[in-house]
Amino acid sequence: MNLNIETLNKLTEEHYKLLLEADPNEKLISKYLNRSFCFEATYTKSQPFPYYISGVIPTP
């Protein structure tokens, strides 16, 4: 099992699609992304393809 967590400096189109599933308001996403830490966790076990989890943590 391998869990790797990295901060993201640039979000891809896939990251935005995932964010829009959680919050369909593009204006709000843009507002909180400007003041957020973004990260991606990759989990690999013995499967041929890893699992990805992305997250956004807004700051005050």
* pLDDT (tens digit per residue) in 22-50: 889 999 888 888 888 888 887 777 665 55
Work out whether strand 36-44 and strand 2-7 pair parallel, antiparallel, or are unpaired: antiparallel
pLDDT for 25: 94
As a whole-number percent, the residues of the chain with pLDDT over 90 amount to: 7
Q: How many domains does the chain have?
A: 1
40 close to 52: Cβ distance less than 8 angstroms: yes
d(C-alpha 17, C-alpha 9), whole Å:
17
Cα–Cα dist 39/26, whole Å: 19
Q: What is the pLDDT of residue 27?
A: 92
Range of the domain at 43: 2-58
